[in-house]
């Protein structure tokens, strides 16, 4: 028996960054807003006190803040001809569950995409010609430009108090910032973080090679900051327990540390945790969403009517809920037709490990987004023609994740155990570092999501099935970027150096990034996109699908800055236009 | 996953139900004999030397015992619904065998192997050199164990290292021996005063949570 609840103006599915940003905007506009979150309630004082969070086993190894595969997972295969199998233990990515979502245990590397990223396809066609692109690439323009998103990037950075150095202030180049970034209206709200030794060595070497290093824009704050809502964030203490952890210092921007305190004061906002949304109810294409069906820990099923439905449950669950609810035409890889599940893409990462005989790096001094970066091989400011690939990578040295269970580097040739291993670990731990290339990922015909025919979740619903492998374009890009990275590494004059290339097939096992994007993509054309440039469903105009699921392909940067900018832009379109005249916004 | 493994695993699951309770030793999953074997293995994987104690001496068996008695041991949080099909390596491990089952079966099989190969002596009775040879054989997949000898070796190595470097509240890394070995300060949580002091040694001793 489904229990019918009292209607609300807006129901929000999932309370991560996307859900929290929409909840603030909609409740701020006076709507009654209910957020449904499948995971538990969590907040800094009760769940992340410094006396408890510095626990590598619990959080980094056993994944305490991450969704449990027993509750929900996906199935995976590299290509359509294989049988997809369940991801039984998470590896390659670690999506969140619980209040704050992945915004609790993220690193906080807070990027804007470059202007050229939003017109990747038309630009490539114009600059390199039709024959340059492999025929199975399905990349497309976003239908929204950098200039349109700039005010919303700005708003998110000031909400969080991002620490960084501007490189392009209204067209003026500033020293020490990223010379390749799009123009920004304001500088970063707080100055860059203090830089530890390893990133400094990287930056010196990169400068020597002729590159333009700058500090990673960071949601781990260099100093205390009061955001526009009056919420106060603390200063980062460089504790080293950041990615996969909640922050005990209120120093990492998260939904909890930036938005939740004011939402809790608003009578028109409510949040129900341990509530999993099962489907979105509607009367077919061209109608409206009527609300959502969800279940809580008691096993009871509820119907929550709502005038607006915000789907912000992260890429995989956004796609799955659309498919389970029969919203939008499912993508068919054979014909290339259909949209839901189309254009999944990821991040093409690689790294180089280095060890020094004479340098004490003290890698335990760290944060999530602490480091130096070069953007010289990113975007499209250099000629890709002779290189034969599209896309690029940022190269960085981040002082992060050097806790010893998962990180105890040894020089090449060291045995895996025994006395020699022990001596090598003892010598190397304080003297080793890793530098990385974070590369773009182009969408292609064989990379997509649909429903698995065999495996089901605990509510007996089909799991989402992911079919993905790296496109040759991206492997070529990655090989090039990794070579440049290794050159910088060698210029640092280490005692040893090991190059970890990215190779096919893509493996679900080693952690790479939780930058799963696409599948419900943004666009100007309903035959090749799920949502319009305001994240509004083409099929149901009161449904907005918010998150990285909107990316038509992935740039090299971490996604959340762009996720937030798209979300804030959608929120503004809803509150200033849609509420006045409900209907298609594009 | 082969059918033979599946049958073996259900037999072992039955076995686990009557795992020895030995309150006097504080063990929650292992029998005292199993714990002794794990201690011996851990002391070879991370041996005692002039740099400090071995992993077995600082609580590897206790760490693994507690982990196996909890969510980790039973794969409680993992997706464990059938069917279990073999797949390719890029799809990740596909096996109904939980870590608890792997240890119960693996430790018994390893000991049986030793007794057959070394005239009745079990793993703990071997010399350090002999133990190293057995472990190398296990690592190379030369000893047959349900679920795979190499997989069992990798599991024990991973858990031993985890215990050696985890917060001591979990039973391993007693005296913060693992952290002292490498110079990790543990849960200090604040390096603002040293972040920009490049290349200088950090002098404060490690601290643990509990
Ligand atoms: C380890 C890690 C490091 C990262 N580092 C960075 C970084 O440095 N920079 C960066 O830009 N990005 C980073 N990310 C990515 C970043 O966390 C995400 O981009 C961001 O959190 C996305 O926000 P979201 O609200 O769209 O999704 P999420 O944060 O995933 O929130 C979705 C929420 O929906 C809930 N939900 C799902 N299904 C349902 C359902 N059926 N019913 C109800 N609720 C549901 C989930 O429990 C979750 O709380 C990182 C991610 C991880 C995991």
Is the CB of A216 within 6 Å of ligand 1?
no
pLDDT in tens, A302-337: 999 999 999 999 999 999 999 999 999 999 999 999
CB neighbours of residue B129 within 10 Å? 9
- Residue pair A101/A273 in contact (Cβ under 8 Å)? The answer is no
CA distance, residue B53 to nearest chain A CA (Å): 11
Residue B120: CB partners within 8 Å, gap ≥ 6?
Answer: none
pLDDT at B147: 85
> Which CATH number goes with the domain that contains A304?
3.50.50.60
Quick one: CA dihedral A498, B155, A107, B177, positive or negative?
negative
Q: Which of A 42-101 lie inside 8 A of B, CB atoms?
A: 50-52, 54-57, 61-63, 68-70, 73, 76-78, 82-89, 91
B194 and A365 within 8 Å at the Cβ level: the answer is yes
Distance separating alpha carbons of residues A276 and A71, to the nearest angstrom: 10
Nearest atom within ligand 1 for CA of residue A39: 47
B201 and A360 within 8 Å at the Cβ level: the answer is yes
- Which contiguous run of DSSP H or E holds residue A18? helix A17-28
Residue A108 CA to ligand 1 centre (angstroms): 12
- State whether residue B88 sits within 8 Å of chain A by CB: yes
Is residue A150 situated within a structural domain?
Answer: yes
Closest residue in B to A403 (Cα) is B184
pLDDT at B23 over 60: no
B44 and A430 within 8 Å at the Cβ level: the answer is no
pLDDT at B86: 94
Closest residue in B to A370 (Cα) is B195
**ipTM for the predicted complex:** 0.96
Q: What average pLDDT score do residues A372-400 get? A: 97
- State whether residue B136 sits within 8 Å of chain A by CB: no
Residue environment code for A62-75, b if the CB has 16+ CB neighbours within 10 A, otherwise e: bbbbbbbbbebbbb
pLDDT at B210: 79
Closest residue in B to A89 (Cα) is B78
pLDDT in tens, A139-183: 999 999 999 999 999 999 999 999 999 999 999 999 999 999 999
| Total domains, chain A | 1
What is the band of B5 on the pLDDT scale with cuts at 50, 70, 90? very low
Is the CB of A312 within 6 Å of ligand 1?
yes
Residue nearest to atom 23 of ligand 1 (CA): A17
Q: What average pLDDT score do residues A5-9 get? A: 98
What is the band of A235 on the pLDDT scale with cuts at 50, 70, 90? very high
Q: Please give the residue range of the domain that contains residue A239.
A: 2-578
pLDDT at A368: 97
Distance separating alpha carbons of residues A68 and A174, to the nearest angstrom: 45
Is residue A586 situated within a structural domain?
Answer: no
Is residue A139 situated within a structural domain?
Answer: yes
The gap from C-alpha B37 to its chain's centroid, in whole angstroms, comes to: 11
pLDDT at B4: 41
pLDDT at B21: 43
CA dihedral A253, A256, A259, A263 (to 10 degrees): 180
Strand partners, A163: A190, A218
Structure tokens at B175: 């005296």
Active site residue A515: yes
Distance separating alpha carbons of residues A224 and A335, to the nearest angstrom: 54
CA distance, residue B191 to nearest chain A CA (Å): 6
pLDDT at B25 over 80: no
Q: Where are the domains of chain B?
A: 3-182
> If you write DSSP's letter for every residue of B61-108 in order, what string do you get?
HHHHHHHHHSHHHHTTTS--PSP-----GGG----S--HHHHHHHHHH
Structure tokens at A488: 């910088």
The gap from C-alpha A281 to its chain's centroid, in whole angstroms, comes to: 28
What is the band of B146 on the pLDDT scale with cuts at 50, 70, 90? confident
What is the band of B18 on the pLDDT scale with cuts at 50, 70, 90? very low
Instruction: Bin B177: left if φ > 0, else alpha if -120 < ψ < 50, else beta.
Output: alpha
A416 and B157 within 8 Å at the Cβ level: the answer is yes
pLDDT at A560: 98
pLDDT in tens, A340-374: 999 999 999 999 999 999 999 999 999 999 999 99
pLDDT at B16: 45
Q: Residue A575 — φ and ψ, nearest 5°?
A: -75, -30
What is the band of A7 on the pLDDT scale with cuts at 50, 70, 90? very high
pTM value surpassing 0.90: yes
Distance separating alpha carbons of residues A530 and A542, to the nearest angstrom: 13
Distance separating alpha carbons of residues A557 and A112, to the nearest angstrom: 8
pLDDT at B137 over 60: yes
Residue environment code for A370-389, b if the CB has 16+ CB neighbours within 10 A, otherwise e: bbbbbbbbbbbeeebeeeeb
pLDDT at A439: 98
What is the band of B2 on the pLDDT scale with cuts at 50, 70, 90? very low
């Amino acid at each position: 028996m489904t229990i019918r609840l009292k209607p609300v103006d807006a129901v929000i599915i999932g309370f991560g960054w996307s859900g929290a940003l929409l909840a603030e905007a909609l409740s701020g506009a006076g709507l009654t807003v209910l957020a449904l979150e499948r995971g538990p309630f969590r907040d800094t004082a009760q769940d992340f006190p410094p006396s408890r969070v510095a626990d590598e086993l619990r959080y980094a190894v056993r994944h305490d803040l991450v969704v449990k595969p027993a509750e929900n997972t996906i199935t995976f295969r590299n290509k359509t001809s294989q049988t997809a199998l369940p991801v039984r233990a998470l590896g390659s990515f670690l999506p969140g569950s619980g209040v704050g979502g992945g915004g609790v245990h993220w690193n906080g590397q807070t990027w804007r995409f470059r202007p050229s990223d939003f017109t990747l396809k038309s630009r490539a066609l114009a600059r390199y010609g039709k024959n340059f692109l492999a025929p199975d690439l399905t990349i497309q323009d976003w239908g929204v430009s950098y200039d349109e998103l700039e005010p919303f990037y700005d708003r998110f950075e000031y909400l969080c108090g991002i620490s960084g150095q501007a490189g392009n202030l209204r067209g003026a180049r500033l020293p020490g910032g990223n010379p390749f970034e799009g123009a920004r209206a304001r500088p970063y709200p707080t100055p860059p973080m203090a830089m530890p030794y390893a990133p400094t060595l990287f930056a010196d070497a990169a400068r020597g090679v002729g590159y333009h290093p700058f500090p990673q824009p960071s949601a781990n704050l260099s100093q205390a900051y009061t955001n526009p809502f009056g919420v106060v964030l603390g200063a980062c203490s460089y504790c080293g327990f950041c990615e996969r952890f909640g922050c005990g210092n209120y120093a990492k921007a998260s939904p909890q540390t930036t938005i939740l305190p004011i939402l809790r004061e608003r009578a028109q906002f409510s949040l129900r945790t341990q509530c999993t949304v099962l489907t979105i109810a509607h009367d077919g294409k061209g109608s409206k969403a009527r609300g959502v069906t969800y279940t809580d820990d008691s096993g009871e099923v509820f119907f929550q009517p709502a005038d607006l439905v915000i789907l912000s449950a992260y890429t995989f669950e956004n796609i799955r809920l659309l498919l389970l609810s029969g919203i939008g035409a499912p993508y068919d890889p054979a014909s290339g037709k259909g949209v839901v599940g189309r254009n999944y893409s990821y991040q093409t990462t690689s790294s180089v490990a280095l060890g020094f005989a004479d340098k004490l790096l003290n890698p335990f001094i760290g944060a999530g987004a602490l480091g130096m970066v070069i953007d010289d091989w990113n975007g499209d400011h250099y000629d890709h023609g002779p290189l034969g690939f599209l896309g690029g990578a940022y190269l960085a040295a981040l002082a992060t994740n050097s806790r010893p269970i998962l990180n105890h580097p040894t020089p090449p040739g060291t045995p895996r155990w025994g006395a020699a291993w022990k001596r090598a670990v003892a010598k190397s731990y304080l003297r080793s570092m890793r530098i990385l290339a974070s590369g773009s990922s182009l969408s292609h015909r064989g990379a997509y999501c649909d429903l698995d025919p065999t495996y089901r979740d605990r509510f007996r619903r089909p799991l989402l099935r992911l079919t993905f492998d790296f496109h040759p374009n991206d492997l070529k890009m990655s090989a090039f970027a990794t070579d440049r990275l290794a050159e910088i590494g060698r210029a640092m004059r280490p005692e040893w150096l090991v190059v970890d290339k990215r190779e096919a097939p893509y493996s679900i096992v080693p952690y790479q990034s939780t930058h799963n994007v696409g599948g419900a993509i943004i666009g100007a054309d309903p035959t090749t996109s799920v949502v319009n440039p305001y994240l509004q469903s083409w099929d149901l105009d009161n449904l907005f699908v918010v998150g990285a699921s909107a990316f038509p392909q992935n740039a090299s940067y971490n996604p959340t800055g762009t996720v937030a900018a798209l979300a804030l832009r959608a929120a503004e379109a809803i509150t200033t236009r849609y509420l006045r005249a409900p209907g298609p916004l594009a | 996953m082969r059918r033979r493994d599946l049958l073996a695993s259900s037999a072992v699951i039955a076995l686990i139900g009557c795992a020895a309770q030995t309150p006097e030793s504080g063990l929650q999953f292992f029998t005292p004999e199993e714990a002794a074997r794990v201690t011996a293995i851990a002391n070879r994987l991370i041996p005692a030397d002039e740099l400090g104690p071995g992993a077995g001496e600082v609580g590897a068996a206790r760490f693994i015992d507690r982990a196996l008695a909890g969510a980790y041991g039973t794969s409680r949080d993992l997706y464990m619904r059938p069917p279990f099909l073999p797949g390719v390596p890029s799809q990740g491990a596909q096996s109904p065998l939980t870590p608890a089952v792997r240890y119960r079966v693996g430790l018994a099989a390893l000991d049986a192997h030793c007794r057959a190969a070394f005239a009745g002596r079990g793993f703990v009775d071997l010399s350090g050199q002999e133990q190293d040879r057995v472990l190398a054989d296990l690592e190379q997949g030369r000893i047959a164990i349900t679920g795979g000898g190499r997989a069992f070796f990798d599991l024990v190595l991973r858990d031993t290292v985890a215990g050696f470097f985890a917060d001591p509240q979990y039973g391993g890394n007693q005296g913060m021996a693992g952290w002292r070995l490498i110079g990790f300060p543990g849960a200090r949580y604040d390096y603002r005063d040293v972040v920009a002091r490049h290349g200088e040694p950090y002098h404060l001793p490690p601290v643990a949570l509990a």
